[in-house]
Amino acid sequence: MSKKLRRKNSSVIKRISIRLMKLIIFIGIPMAVFIYTFQLKNITVTGSMHYSEDEIIPYLVNTKADKNTLIFYLKNKYFEDIRIPFVEKLSFEWVDIHSLNIKVYDKKITGCIEFMGDYLYFDKDGIIVESTSKRIAGIPLVKGLKYHKIVLNEKLEVQKDELYDVILNLTQQIEKYQLDVDIISFNNENEVTLDLGDIKALIGRRGTYDEILAKLKNIIKEANGRKFTIDMRQDKDYYIAKPEISTE
């Protein structure tokens, strides 16, 4: 190889090396500083009744880029359309270069029905908002509804639309009085029965269930774990609880 060719090759290598050094200086180093500076170390999740913090985070952090605080914040606040079952929306708050706060807004679930092995959850207007194979604790199962059409994200068509107002009133009062109601049942006359595990309460058909559930709350306090059925369909000053007789 001639000296002239060697000098030419050496010059090319030198130019390439200089360009690589410039790339490292002007791109690589700032990138490394950016990655190191904005490491996402702390995420605080609040607001959800359905999910814990450990259950929410895997929906959001699933790539290397998600571990950068700034990228994660901008992506989820302005660009990403996050879909999580039973979650209406998320809000993101910048705390510092390593920390973010996330507030979860749950979908307002009134109750659920069981259909072909799945549980369909609906809101106060009867719109089916989610479908899962698992029963979610704390949401009453509603029985006795006669539905004509079941389509996700559409209204559940039942025998009377007024029943949604009844269910909404019931669930509001159930939450108010902290009653552990597992099942809300309607009979053919649209009379209501509440199943509270060991206790079954027939509360009938009425305009509002506030007063009757307040009385039921007081009765349960005196139950002491005993199983019984109580008929509260008529307004009375007192009610007689009928003990469940064991067949064992």
What integer pLDDT is reported at residue 234 of this predicted model?
85
Q: Which two tokens stand for residue 172?
A: 């509001």
- Do residue 49 and residue 129 come from a single domain? no
Query: What digits encode the pLDDT tens for the residues 119-163?
Result: 999 888 888 888 888 888 888 999 988 877 788 888 888 777 788
- Is 146 contained in some domain? yes
- Do residue 83 and residue 17 come from a single domain? no
Query: What digits encode the pLDDT tens for the residues 63-86?
Result: 887 888 888 888 888 777 788 888
DSSP E strand stretches across 187-243: 192-195, 199-204, 228-231, 241-243
Amino acid type, 77? K
Residues in the chain: 248
Q: How confident is the model at residue 17 (pLDDT cuts 50, 70, 90)?
A: low
The tally of domains found in the chain comes to 3
- Do residue 70 and residue 124 come from a single domain? no
What integer pLDDT is reported at residue 5 of this predicted model?
47
- Do residue 98 and residue 138 come from a single domain? no
- pTM across the whole model: 0.68
- Do residue 78 and residue 123 come from a single domain? no
Asked if residue 67 lies in contact with residue 85, where contact means CB atoms within 8 angstroms, the answer is no
Q: Which of 62, 79, 106 is the last residue of a domain?
A: 106
**Residue 76 is part of which domain span?**
42-106
Strands 141-143 and 199-204 turn out to be unpaired
Residue 163: its H or E element? helix 162-176
CATH number at residue 225: 3.40.50
